[in-house]
């Protein structure tokens, strides 16, 4: 009975929201991958291996920290292994797998960090007013019902 049709403004708001996200996000990722050859996923993996695991993590922990399912991560690691960015090593006690960043991976990550930072600042942070920051923060708070992974960096 509740028809719930959206009016023009509501539809436009949805499109604006989508549009801003894709535009900003796309610019950041493109800047990184143009300069480093890493994709967003590559960077996420390497970053977590480095910061959360000091170079290596169990595959499962890595998956959780990225909020990726095991299949997605498995496929992605297979591709990254081919490019020598990471290695996999089976654990024999536990039946898990250790994912280890290679020197190549570490160096790619180090190259990417400043570029990513600059890109996020330029395309995202510099575009935001204080009100936007507050809005984003609160919306995230309201939104994150049951989505575990919020990537809290390891304690200092």
Partner DNA sequence: AAATTGTAGTTGACGTGTCAACCATGCTAT
Partner DNA sequence: ATAGCATGGTTGACACGTCAACTACAATTT
Q: Which does 89 bind (CB under 5 to 8 A by kind): DNA, a copy of itself, none?
A: none
Label the pairing between strands 97-101 and 86-90: antiparallel
- By the criterion CB under 8 A, which residues form the site for a copy of itself? 2-6, 8, 10-11, 13-21, 23-25, 114, 117-118, 120-121, 124-125, 127-129, 131-140, 142-144, 147, 150-151, 153
* Minimum CB–partner distance for residue 77 and DNA (Å): 6
- If DSSP states are collapsed to H, E and C, what string results for 72-108? HHHHHHHHHHHCCCEEEEECCCCCCEEEEECHHHHHH
Write the Ramachandran bin of 84: left for phi over 0, alpha for psi from -120 to 50, otherwise beta: left
- Of DNA, a copy of itself, none, which one does residue 21 interact with (CB within 5 to 8 Å by kind)? a copy of itself
Partner whose binding site includes residue 121, from a copy of itself, DNA, none (CB under 5 to 8 Å by kind): a copy of itself
Given the complex with a copy of itself, which of 29 and 97 has the nearer CB atom?
Answer: 29
Binding of residue 117 to DNA (CB under 7 A) = no
Please list, in sequence order, all residues whose beta carbon lies within 8 angstroms of the beta carbon of residue 20, skipping any fewer than 6 positions away.
Answer: none
């Amino acid at each position: 009975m509740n028809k719930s049709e959206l009016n023009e403004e509501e539809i436009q708001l949805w499109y604006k929201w989508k549009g801003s996200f894709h535009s900003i996000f796309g610019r950041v990722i493109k800047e990184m991958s143009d300069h480093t050859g890493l994709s967003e996923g590559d960077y996420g993996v390497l970053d977590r291996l480095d910061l959360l695991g000091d170079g290596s993590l169990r595959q499962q922990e890595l998956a959780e920290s990225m909020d990726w399912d095991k299949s997605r991560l498995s496929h992605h690691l297979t591709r990254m292994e081919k490019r020598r960015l990471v290695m996999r090593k089976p654990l024999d006690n536990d039946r898990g797998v250790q994912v280890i960043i290679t020197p190549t991976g570490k160096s790619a990550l180090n190259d990417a960090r400043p570029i990513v930072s600059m890109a996020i600042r330029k395309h995202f942070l510099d575009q935001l007013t204080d009100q936007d920051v507050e809005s984003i923060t609160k919306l995230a708070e309201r939104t994150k019902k049951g989505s575990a992974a919020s990537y809290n960096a390891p304690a200092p």
